[in-house]
Structure 1
Amino acid sequence: MAEYGDYCPVNMATEVVADRWTPLIVRELLLGSTRFNEIARSLPGISRTLLVQRLRHLERRGVVETWPAPSGRGHEYHLTQAGRELEEVIDALGRWAIEWLYEGMKPHTVPPTTLMWWMHLRTEPRNFPPHRTVIEFRFREPSETVWLLLDRGTSSVCVKHPGFETDVVASATTATFAEVFQGVRGWRQAVLAGDIEVQGLPQVTRAVPTWFLWSPWADAARERSERARRSRHESAG
């Protein structure tokens, strides 16, 4: 007698991609991470052993494949066609969470270095300055400083001073930076409110928000935040 999973497509799919970490690994691959350490850096809380197991599982199930690294050392992880077609699934999960779990979002809990890693994956090289630019992000609550280096169409996260002159200094709580990245509020809105303090040449500081694409779900978060604001206003009235 066949088991339920043998003929239920939803059950078959959950066996491949529905444990706690697998959708997040697929998300990181969709965002452009290809090396093991890049994926691990984006997923605080997962052990390296478990990450190896999940990647091997996805490779066995035809969702991920490995390519030799261009450097000749190690290899890269890439989504197969089957893996790339999960993009709509991951996007739908994110939008569903914003719609129905919005009140439970806790942006203050993300580690600063993890947030900076996500931000660097969501930059817009076409808008980068023509010269090397260093942004110093000063996080409060918890206190930490992380640098983002923009150079020749690439972005790099530095937990130590990169050795170049800083062009922009941006200071805020971790929660504020996370809210901007998620789309709950805009960069300029946070600056005008005094929640983000920016130092640097005006023509450079004004361009900062154009260097980022923000979260893939920023538009949904922005809309949800506006609806929540209107609801509070109507209740108060």
Structure 2
Amino acid sequence: MAKTAEVFAQRWTPLLVRELCFGPLRFTELHSGVPSMSRALLVQRLAELEEAGVIATEPMGQGKLYRLTSAGESLRDIIVLMSSWGQRYGQGRLGPADMDPTMLVWSMKRQIDPCQLPDRDIVLRLEFRGLPKAHAARRYWWIILRPNDVEVCFKAPDCEVDVVIAADLEALIRVWMGYAGLAEASQASAVSLHGDPMLVRAVKRILGLADEPHHRTLTFKAHAAVAA
């Protein structure tokens, strides 16, 4: 246990392993998953994990691709257990540091099951209220749900929006995490969905926005691409 803690129990390290559970990533992609971590510390932690045999690198264009080794893959069960514990016992600990729209949208994208994707493109716009001052510039986001891909944009794409989710940031975080139900949040005008009813239902299903609170189980694996 002590030897595991020496490698795994440093600040940010479990989150880096979590990111790499979704598949090999470039440095910028890793940093997007842990945006509050400084780039200098990210470089340091990656070097430590590589030295410990948890990750390996391979050349990728002008940079590197980071991936889990077999030792790193063995930590996946710990990540799943930590996630389950936090889902069950940590919901009352949401604080200002958790009010990050980037983390929410990034998490939404990673948890979308390719088997749930629509048979046509659906463009979703997210409009957040109640953002901390540090994140005020990230009020608007777009998610393009394609039959074989999911794209996240923080600049308006050149296509028509099908569904709009307008929400208090904290309220949508709680609904997406399963801590609160969409029905109650909608009744309180904290979260609202607008658009064609059929497409709204599809977005709710794809994002896993349930009408009632529930224990959401998160997955930590790379999804295979879906054939068009």
The DSSP-based 3-state class of the residue aligned with 1:66 is strand
Give yes or no for the alignment of 1:50 onto 2:28: no
Name 2:153's counterpart in structure 1.
158
Name 2:102's counterpart in structure 1.
113
The 1:38/1:186 distance shift into structure 2, 3 A limit, reads: farther
The one of 17, 25, 40 equivalent to 2:31 is 40
Q: Displacement, 1:139?
A: 0.5
Q: Displacement, 1:150?
A: 1.7
The 1:77/1:188 distance shift into structure 2, 3 A limit, reads: farther
Structure 1 unaligned blocks of 5 or more = 1-9, 223-237
The one of 113, 123, 127 equivalent to 2:116 is 127
Structure 2 unaligned blocks of 5 or more = 218-228
Q: Is the Cα contact below 8 Å between 1:113 and 1:159 reproduced in 2?
A: no
Name 2:174's counterpart in structure 1.
179
Please give the alpha-carbon distance, in whole angstroms, between the structure 1 residues aligned to 2:182 and 2:70. Answer: 35
Cα deviation code 1:112-151 (max 9, x no counterpart):
1221111111112222222222100000101611111122
* Structure possessing the higher radius of gyration over alpha carbons: 1
The DSSP-based 3-state class of the residue aligned with 2:193 is strand
Name the structure where helix makes up a greater proportion of residues.
Answer: 1
Q: Is the Cα contact below 8 Å between 1:107 and 1:175 reproduced in 2?
A: no
Please give the alpha-carbon distance, in whole angstroms, between the structure 1 residues aligned to 2:112 and 2:85. Answer: 24
The DSSP-based 3-state class of the residue aligned with 1:19 is coil
The 1:108/1:178 distance shift into structure 2, 3 A limit, reads: farther
Q: Displacement, 1:100?
A: 4.1
Q: Is the Cα contact below 8 Å between 1:135 and 1:168 reproduced in 2?
A: yes
The DSSP-based 3-state class of the residue aligned with 2:25 is coil
Number of aligned residues:
208
The DSSP-based 3-state class of the residue aligned with 1:12 is helix
Name 2:22's counterpart in structure 1.
31
Give the counterpart letter for 2:100 in structure 1.
P
Cα deviation code 1:54-102 (max 9, x no counterpart):
1111111111112343xx4422211111111111112222333344444
The 1:93/1:74 distance shift into structure 2, 3 A limit, reads: same
The 1:101/1:166 distance shift into structure 2, 3 A limit, reads: closer
Please give the alpha-carbon distance, in whole angstroms, between the structure 1 residues aligned to 2:124 and 2:89. Answer: 35
Name 2:221's counterpart in structure 1.
none
Instruction: Report the TM-score when normalising by structure 1.
Output: 0.78
Instruction: Report the TM-score when normalising by structure 2.
Output: 0.81
Cα deviation code 1:16-67 (max 9, x no counterpart):
1110110110011113461211211121321101101111111111111123
Q: Is the Cα contact below 8 Å between 2:91 and 2:179 reproduced in 1?
A: no
The 1:133/1:117 distance shift into structure 2, 3 A limit, reads: same
